[in-house]
Structure 1
Amino acid sequence: MKRTHRILLGAIVIAVLVGVVSTSMGTTTAKVSPGDLQSGEYDGEYVILEGLATDVRIGNTVTLTVVGNSSETRTVDDNATEASVPAVVTDDSIPATLESGRIVVLEGTYDDGRFEASSVMVKSHEQ
Structure 2
Amino acid sequence: MPADPAQLPFFVYGTLRTGGRNHAAHLDGLCAAVRPAVLPGAALYEGPGFPYAVPDPGRSVVGELVTVFPAGYPSVLAGLDRLEDCRPDGSGEYVRLRRAVRTADGEHDAWVYLAGPRTAARLRSGPAPVESGDWTRR
TM-score band (shorter)? under 0.3
Q: What's the TM-score, normalizing by structure 2?
A: 0.23
Higher strand share: 2
Larger radius of gyration: 1
Q: What's the TM-score, normalizing by structure 1?
A: 0.24
Q: Which has the higher contact order (CA 8 A, sep 6+)?
A: 2
Higher helix share: 1
